[in-house]
Structures are given as structure tokens and as C-alpha cells.
Amino acid sequence: MLKATDLLVPVDFSQCSVNAVRAGVGIASPDADITLLHVIDEAFVHDAVVAGLGNSDEITTKLRERAEADFVAMLEGLETNGVDIERMIVVGKPFVEILKIARDLDLPMIVMGVRGQSSPPEEMLFGSTAEKVLRGSRVPVLCVPM
């Protein structure tokens, strides 16, 4: 059976990314570290500023607070089997940040959901985050279905 020592699990708090967290915990060895990464999409922040919903700092702060609350809710009741779970929140382009963090932390594997919160028309026109990570990754990527 596949066992991994350290993993990066990008999460957008969709059901698919929650399944990826469960899969990551399932394949992690007992002494493993899992880094959960949530990326606040800089394009979304920009669009919210243009729409008059506040300035960039205010919107980013609100999104960070929401992500922290979502992390707590997602991890509540999750059996981690002794695996150390760390949380990170960054701002940027999701696929770029996922690849950058995996490289910077020298993580040997990425576990992620195949479908996030983007809509199917967006994926048809621009490609999914999972696809972009698969194409750009230098380490194995395990894609978890719904």
C-alpha cells in the first residue's frame, strides 16, 4: 500500500477537497506531516474591489477569517491517526501557489481533488486548477474524485 511521509493537500473547502484531505490522511505514514493549503484567489479579490465590496486588505482579511473558520469545521471530527496537520493560507493564483509551496517546502507529493469550486464553463475555457497542477508539477499528484 502507498504510504507517504509528507504531503501537500490544497483545499478550497469543496466536498472534493475534503475527500482529498481524507485520502491524504489515509495514505500518510504515522510520522507524516500534511500541509493543508488554501489559496485566496487574487483575481477574486480584484473583482470584489472593482465591484465596490471594499479595499483589497479588507476583502483579503475577511477571506482569511473565513478560511480559518472553514479549516476548523473541516478538521472537526477528522481522525488523523497521529499525522501532524499544518494549515497555510496564501494569496495568489491557485495553481501557481500550489506548485510554488510544494517546491519551496520540498514536499514529495500533492494530493488534491479533481474538481473545486470553479464552474464547468470556466474549466472548459481555461482548464481546471488540478489539470494545471498536474502539468506543472515535478512531484507525483494524486487526484481524488468526488
The CATH number of whichever domain residue 70 belongs to comes to 3.40.50.620
Give yes or no for residue 115 having a pLDDT over 90.
no
Tens digits of residue pLDDT in 70-110:
999 999 988 888 889 999 999 999 999 999 999 999 999 99
pTM for this prediction: 0.89
Buried-state track 98-128, b at ≥16 Cβ within 10 A, e below 16? bbbbbeeeebebbbbbbbbebeeeeeeeeeb
Residue 120: band (very low, low, confident or very high) from pLDDT cuts 50, 70, 90 = low
Average pLDDT, stretch 9-34? 92
pLDDT at site 12: 94
Q: Which domain holds residue 59?
A: 4-144
Number of domains in the chain: 1
